[in-house]
Amino acid sequence: AHARQIDDCLKVLTGLPRADRWTEVKAVLFSSILAVSRRCHAFTVVDCGFNLEFDEEISYDTAAPRRNGATVEALELADLIVVVGAADPVGLGRLIRGVSDVLTAVPSASPYLVVNRYRGGLGWSPREVSQMVVRATGIEAVRLLPDDPTACDRAVVHGRTLTECAPEAKLTRALAEMAAEIVGVPAGRGVRRLRLKRT
């Protein structure tokens, strides 16, 4: 496997080009990749996708391949699990179900929740959204990220990160603050100086 160097402090190792090739990703091999990444980098971030699948019939068969085997392996090895959902009613419902799925997979987890694409037009204040999520999940660690389509579109069109394309955008700053909180460094050090790379 080869990681692509994005800048001085960021490398990316992409996944499979086709979902139907999931059997090629063995959990034990994936854990080896994570171990190498942890040895070589201060932080490793794994995007596990949007869904966890559980098959009761094969859950007791340790030899049978599991479609979400690599995902569960990543969750079990993670120092912190970040669960992300959209701020609209459908997205919040999925976020709450996602938390339940994560706790089913890793009962000892203490997820950090992120409500993405928050906008005032939804009719709820940030406080109201946070309170809804806390009541439904019992988890106090909730972070809201603002909807910023202009900055995101610019990053996608140019194939660059938000930090590179829109360093002063509200979403970029919110992400930097969130990363600082997760890593445990003081906020306000500057977007370009913050380096986040661990599971």
First to last CA, the chain: 18
How much of the chain exceeds pLDDT 70, in percent?
Answer: 85
Task: Report domain extents, the chain.
Answer: 1-77
pLDDT band at 24 (very low <50, low <70, confident <90, very high): confident
Q: CA–CA separation, 44 vs 163, rounded Å?
A: 18
pLDDT band at 60 (very low <50, low <70, confident <90, very high): low
DSSP string, 38-95: HHH-S-------S-----TTTTT-TTS--TTHHHHHHHHH-S--EEEEESSHHHHHHH
List pLDDT tens digits, range 99-154.
999 999 999 999 999 999 999 999 999 999 999 999 999 999 999 999 999 999 99
Which pLDDT does position 199 carry in this prediction?
A: 40
Q: pTM, whole model, 2 decimals?
A: 0.84
Q: Is the pLDDT of residue 43 over 70?
A: yes
DSSP string, 102-144: HHHH-TT--PEEEEEEE-GGGS--HHHHHHHHHHHH----EEE
